[in-house]
Amino acid sequence: MGMTMTQKILAAHAGLEKVEAGQLIEAKLDMVLGNDITSPVAINEFEKCGACSVFDKDRIALVLDHFVPNKDIKAAEQCRQTRNFAGKYDITNFFDVGQMGIEHALLPEQGIVGPGDCVIGADSHTCTYGALGAFSTGVGSTDMAAGMITGKAWFKVPSAIKVVLKNKPTGFVAGKDVILHLIGEIGVDGALYQSLEFTGDGVAALSMDDRLCIANMAIEAGAKNGIFPVDDVTRAYCEGRFRRTPVEYSADEDAEYTRVVEIDLAKLRPTVSFPHLPENTRTIDEIGETEVKIDQSVIGSCTNGRMEDLRAAAAILKDRKVAKNVRCIVIPGTQQIYLDAMHEGLLEIFIKAGAVVSTPTCGPCLGGYMGILGKGEKAISTTNRNFVGRMGHVESEVYLASPAVAAASAVTGYITDPAKL
């Protein structure tokens, strides 16, 4: 029996000719990632075990993004500890205020991760980099510490689900709708500790921003990772950007999958995830015109804070106004995206519409700051989780959607089909 794409990457990094699902391996790492929330815990473990050096200062990335610029004293202390560690060990890929971005938007943009890589990060959405043909997965801070010291990590080789994408999306359907549809179909535990391996002719119809969004939310189906094949879209994105030599892997024709899921992209409709789980999905056609009144619209995050996302939102908000009593918050994913959006005039569109534009930050996604919800408030958001209390008060509600739907809803004050504006 052949190997899946993920299994081939893990076998190569473990120095083995072949691996099988369920096998325990030790693999070399191409990159170890931490942020301002998880890095301090890893640093404490690093120091507790007596470590005095990192395995490779060029293969560690520390990104201050969750509560940056600092929202309070505790956040400032966490960043200070991470900043001091980065200085002490001369960490090459350290991103502070002014250079930072949301980590999972920043690392691909900066060419720090790419095809064939094996990456761990102390953040569950590290699976984002599978969009580039890498194996990447979230780990705990203790594993991050061990990775910084040894450059290795233990893995149980995952089995895989094959997701066959067919045809092309139409209308306002984007990557967010694809992954919400998939999670709605298989559930939040439908791919538990498995690899979601995307394939089919429909892959070519998805932009890199679409793929990064889809891979980002693989964890919301319980997956160990999500991964896309390396094609011309991938190569074009990585050319002149990726800092190392890309290595392309592809699944064997006789690779074993636990399940095959087919999605006809042409039949998808804009999809919204209702509280309080990402699997609780409805198409925009299944939602009444004034069924869900919103108080806030958030457009950003590591899921949907890239240029295509901002362009989609700006196309809706241009020459329109945010509804009275709705707060619309736009958060570019990185400083470069912020700059590009400024040059394209997108920021002016947002501000004239009555939205506020933030510096890159995770901010409200995890209930940090820059848009906390009060009791009974409802937000439509392009973020990736809508658990109880995720964005504020335990009696608030978060509805997950694409940038186009979030922008349209900001205009009307209700969850709205952008095609009806």
Which residues does residue 197 pair with via DSSP β-bridges, in sequence order? Answer: 162, 227
CA 274/CA 109 separation, integer angstroms: 31
**DSSP-based three-state secondary structure for 409:** helix
pLDDT in tens, the chain (421 residues): 899 999 999 999 999 999 999 999 999 999 999 999 999 999 999 999 999 999 999 999 999 999 999 999 999 999 999 999 999 999 999 999 999 899 999 999 999 999 999 999 999 999 999 999 999 999 999 999 999 999 999 999 999 999 999 999 999 999 999 999 999 999 999 999 999 999 999 999 999 999 999 999 999 999 999 999 999 999 999 999 998 999 999 999 999 999 999 999 999 999 999 999 999 999 999 998 888 999 999 999 999 999 999 999 999 999 999 999 999 999 999 999 999 999 999 999 999 999 999 999 999 999 999 999 999 999 999 999 999 999 999 999 999 999 999 999 999 999 999 999 9
Q: Where are the beta strands (DSSP E) in 204-253?
A: 225-227
CA 64/CA 251 separation, integer angstroms: 35
Residues contacting residue 398 through CB under 8 Å, at least 6 positions apart: 275, 276, 373, 378, 379, 380, 381, 383, 385, 386, 390, 391
- Quick check: 21 and 1 in contact, CB under 8 A? no
CA 230/CA 186 separation, integer angstroms: 25
* C-alpha separations of 161 from 51, 78, 218 in Å: 39, 38, 11
- Ordered domains of the chain (ranges, CATH): 5-264 (3.30.499.10), 270-420 (3.30.499.10)
